[in-house]
Amino acid sequence: MIARALMVISVSIFFSLGVLHLVYTFLGPKLLPRDPALQVAMSQISPVITGETTIWRCWIGFNASHSMGVILFGLIYGFLAIAHSSLLFQSPYLLIVGLAMLIGFLALGKLYWFSAPFIGILLSLTFYIASIIASHA
């Protein structure tokens, strides 16, 4: 029971970060450039790979899809923790995939983002590892 609760806390943190990021992608100024001229320039320039879109549209799409991936991870692992905890905790594959995902996001957070998402991911990872330890105790 403790392992399940720790996993639910872990994925709830991660899921919440994804939802917040998705909201920030489409509502409010949080993910807009501080310099409005940069957004204008991004809206007028296409990436080298194609002329069918702009850097700004890519920015929105990448942020939205990033959020959706985080949300999906939270929904799947949350569902497994609540409805199929024995499957989750007895599957080295599922545990390693989840661990690798969180470690990967932690590295991205450290290298490319800022302290708030890094701390949130670190907390999520800590609860995730604690849930694995508790499941084997």
Which amino acid does the sequence have at 122?
Answer: L
pLDDT of residue 110: 98
Instruction: Average the pLDDT over 16-37 and give the result.
Output: 97
* pLDDT tens digit sequence for 42-80: 999 999 999 999 999 999 999 999 999 999 999 999 999
Q: Given CA atoms 131, 10, 79, 103 in this order, what sign does their dihedral have?
A: negative
Q: What is the pTM of this model?
A: 0.94
Closest CA to 63 of 101, 100, 32: 32
Q: What would the pLDDT profile of 78-112 be if each residue is shown by its tens digit?
A: 999 999 999 999 999 999 999 999 999 999 999 99
